[in-house]
Every structure is written in C-alpha cells, then in structure tokens.
Amino acid sequence: MELYKPLVSDVFAQAASSGVKLMWLQGQTDTGCSISLLQGDHPDIYDAILKLSVNIAYHPTIMVPAGEAASKVLHDMITTDAPDVVVVEGSIPTGDKKHACMIGSYQGEEYILEDYLKALAPRVKTGIIAAVGSCATHGGIPGADPNPTNAKGVADVVGDMATVVNLPGCPPQGEQILLTLAAVILGITPELDGQNRPKVFYGKLLHDQCPLRGYYDEGQFA
C-alpha cells in the first residue's frame, strides 16, 4: 500500500484545490467503517483530511455543523448543489419500514434515507457511489432474517441511477476505502468483479493470503 501513497496524496490534494465535494451518508450502521477509515495508515486519514484534504461536505461522524446547519447540506445537495463523490455506510430500510432511518430534516421536510438516496443518485457528478461495508453492500446484520426494517444494500435501492462500487467487509480496510475514493476522484471506475467489488482488493481469497496459511496446510492449529 505504501507504493500508492504518493498517488493518493496527489489525488486528494487536487480534489481539495478543485473543490471536490464528498458526501458520506450513514444508514443502519455502528460507524465501524468510518472508524476503519480513521484508523487507516497507508495513507492515514489524518493526511487525507489535514494535508490532502478533500472538501468533506457531509459526514455525520466527523463534521462540525450539527442540527439545522447539517441538514441544510443535505437540502442543498439535492436542490442547488451536487456532490462529486458519495459514500454510503450502513444498510437502508425500505418500503413501509423506510422511516426507520431519517437522516435529517430541514424547514419541516424530513429526509428519509431511501428517498434521499434515490433523489441524490442521479445528481452525483462522477456517477459513482461507493457502498462501504457489508451493511451497505448487501444489508449486513440489519438485513439478516427476519429483517424487521426490510434493509437493503445501496445497489438494490439506486438501481441503474448510479454505478455502485461495493467494498464489503465488517469493516473493510481503511486503505481500501481511501484508494477506491482516490480512483473515483480521478474519474476512474476500478475494474470490478461480478459483485461490483474492485478486483484489486477482492480478486483473491483472504484464506490464501493469510500469514498463518502455512500452518493450516501443515494441519497445525494456529
């Protein structure tokens, strides 16, 4: 990963100077994917935010604005403004259960995640939404039987309104998230497999790359 650090640094620096807007939406999540991003170290998010900073227009966990000020960002992004890059963390309650996730309200208008994402998807300038974590990609734990909120992954909600790049994992590695965002900012859609996962990260079984694999092959418990 160290090999890619200069490239990621350059990409985020260009994004900051050109005003590239990133939105990070959260649905049914424990924020574990955000924590993974914050703990990444090749490169680390400290560099990405302070030294290389993208214009993070919205991220509920780390943004300074709160209340009405935060909700105004949600309002602007589907009316007068538009994000360049969108990340979704967490599953999305749908159908008659969609009100289980209201992400904000502005001037009396409630923003329900399912409806909001459908309104936002066609406006994303890169045309790409990154679904980060197994909840966002496939519904995760909230979507497990009996699935009381009819939780779904991003692709099942937005359909063909945007290209969804899936980064499953509980959580995925922070470096994988950063490198994927860097590619999207460059206007590059990573080469994807049949589940819309970047092949560079998901092309091999984790079992085959485990440092303890040799013990397994020898029949030793480690």
| Domains along the sequence of the chain with CATH | 2-217 (3.40.50.700)
Alpha carbon 221 to its chain centroid, in Å, reads 36
- Average pLDDT, stretch 94-111? 96
Q: Which run of H or E residues covers position 150?
A: none
pLDDT over 50 at 1, yes or no: no
The residue assigned the tokens 């922070």 is 174
Q: Which is higher by pLDDT, 200 or 7?
A: 200
Give burial (CB, 10 Å; 0-12/13-18/19+) of 20.
buried
Q: Which is higher by pLDDT, 131 or 55?
A: 131
Q: Which run of H or E residues covers position 213?
A: helix 213-217
Single-letter residue type at 183: A
- Average pLDDT, stretch 71-99? 97
pLDDT over 70 at 110, yes or no: yes
pLDDT at 47: 64
pLDDT over 90 at 174, yes or no: no
Single-letter residue type at 70: A
pLDDT over 60 at 59, yes or no: yes
pLDDT over 50 at 51, yes or no: no
